[in-house]
Structure formats: structure tokens, C-alpha cells
Amino acid sequence: MNELYPLKFKPVFDDRIWGGEKIKTRLGLDFSPLIRCAEAWVLSGYEGKQTVVSNGFLEGNEINELIEVYMDDLVGGKVYDTSGDTFPLLIKFIDSRDWLSIQVHPDDALAHKRGMANGKTEMWYVLDAEENSQLIAGFNRKVTQKQFLDHLQKKTLPEIMNYMNVYSGDVIYMPAGRIHSLGSGVLLAEIQQTSDVTYRIYDWDRKDENGIGRDLHTEQALAAIDFNLYSDYKTNYRPKINETVNLISCPYFTTRIIELAQPLQKNYEELDSFVVYICLEGSMMVKCREQKTGLRKGEVVMIPAIFNIVEIFPERKAKFLEVFIA
């Protein structure tokens, strides 16, 4: 069997009613023949939307096929024991030209009860936000389920939502159960569990070209929603040049941000997991043993778990997310 190496992937593009053009204009990803693109799934093991390798001798192979062959050498022993032959994370870029629906995702327990493999906890890193862009995360007051349903029936649900202004560099953690939506003018990277289950609660009374609104999932959503009120919905962190800064640590993924102006060596000897780099700005060279792989803004690379030492060489300057399962 040939030796593994840092793997790059061909994105899977998806259009929605709220998608725009920034995935092409800002990230350089060609989503033709689509006219617009809401989501680029840049690393996915989700059935039916798996990404395939775009470099090296494994080119053309789906990620889950590789896990079947390489198992813990690729993803790590703990990850393989837990997730089997399905890659456990879904990494996307999202471009919102209009408001997404107000929605919620189930946690693992509810997902399993409903016959799904797992729930959907996610996080957002904002790459770009137009002036006055907003998102919704949770409620702006304590509400009961009855009050929630009353607002939904009266079409006043937006009145009890917690609106936040959005800026480049913002990090928002969205645990399963947190009601949320993304406003217009935002380009972001999303890291989430491998799941595509979304309970759409309110879609701003939009209609398509045929005058038909999208399906809503109110009853399914009720058991999923966390009605608690929280004091802060944004992750606070302080970026540091040439240092690794932790953003989110949860049972499903750990995400850190690194801004480099000089070479860096990472030691993953104690980490029993694959590592994914998501390039946000600039470009860099990633070296594992004698294997070298270039990475530019808008691309991801997966470092197989078998590699303990990774060397990163920025070309002038690079900013990227580092993602793994602890």
C-alpha cells in the first residue's frame, strides 16, 4: 500500500435560494455551471455529497472509501472506533446573499431517537461581512414553549430572537438546540458534525418563482430547541501572530486559529486524530516528511493521523484554521 500524504479535495457546490457569488469572487472556487452558490462543501463524508481527493495517487477517491482502506492511519484510532468508515466532520464555506431560515438542529440523543446517525453541533468563523450584517443566535429573552408558538403563529418570531452584528473574524459556536439564522452579506467557514438535518422554523414568508414557500418543520423543532437564555453568544478570543490560539473545544471538534509570518513546526505525537487546515488568507506550503502540499485561500488540506510532525511555511503571511478531534 502506498504511503499516505496530505490530502486535498474537490468541493461539492450547492445552491439555495439565499446563495450569492462570494465563494467564487472572494475564495476563488469555481462553482460553474451554477449561477450562484450558497455552500461549498470542501470536506465531506456525508452520503451523497462526499468530497473526492484532488491531488496525488489517491485522486478521485471519496473520503469514506479511504477510511475503509487506511482506517486509523488516516483518522486516528479513537476517531475510527467512534465514527467507523464515515468521516465525522463536515466543513463548508457559506455565502448568504439573503437571510437563511430561522432554524435549529437536534442533538445526538434526539437524532438517534429519530433514526439518524447523529445530531448537528457547529461553529462559524466569519471571513467577510458587509456593513450592518447580522445573525441570529438564541433568544433575547426567556420564553416558554407556549410563548414561542404564539409568536410563531402571529408571525412575530423575529421579535424574540437575539440579533448580533457580524464582523470579519467573529467566531460563533452553535451547539445543537440553539435556534439561529444567518443574515445577508456574510461569508463564513463552518465546521460541524457530519449531518444535514435542519428543522426550518420560519422562512420570512418567502415564496419561490412559483409562489410556493419552503417546507417548515415546527413540530420536529419543538423537541430540539433550547429555550434557555444565555449572556453571551459570541466566542471571545485574542489573535496572536505566529501562535496557536484556541477558538472552540467541544466533544465533536477542536478548532484553533493560526496567523503565520514565519515557518512553524507542529507536533501531533500526542494527538490521535487527523488534522484539517482551512486556509483563510494568503497561502502556505505544508510538509509532512518529504511530502509537500501547497494551500491557498479557500482550500483545505487533511493531514492523516499517521503524521506526527508537520512543517508549515507561509508565503509571506497566511491565516488558517486548525481542526481536529481531541
Give the whole-angstrom CA distance, residue 77 versus residue 271: 10
pLDDT of residue 124: 98
Cβ neighbours of 77 (radius 10 Å): 13
The pLDDT value recorded for residue 319 is: 98
**Could you report the average pLDDT of every consecutive run of 10 residues in the chain (326 residues)?**
90 92 96 95 96 97 97 97 96 96 96 95 98 97 95 94 97 98 98 96 86 88 96 94 97 98 96 98 96 96 98 96 98
Backbone angles phi, psi at 278, to 5 degrees: -115, 110
Predicted pLDDT of residue 288: 96
Contact 186, 124 (CB under 8 A): no
Distance separating alpha carbons of residues 276 and 43, to the nearest angstrom: 9
Q: How far apart are CA 88 and CA 72, in angstroms?
A: 13
Question: H/E/C letters for each residue in 141-192?
Answer: CCCCHHHHHHHHHHCCHHHHEEEEECCCCCEEEECCCCCEEECCCEEEEEEE
Closest CA to 294 of 281, 307, 305, 285: 285
**What DSSP string describes 308-321?**
-EEEEEEEEEEEEE
Beta bridge partners of 270: none
Taking the C-alpha atoms of residue 32 and residue 290, their distance in angstroms, rounded to an integer, is 35
Alpha-carbon gap, residue 82 to 104, rounded angstroms? 25
Q: Give yes or no: 26 in active site.
A: no
Which member of 200, 206, 214, 289 is catalytic? 200
pLDDT at 1: 58
Distance CA 195, CA 202 (A): 21
d(CA 209, CA 205): 13
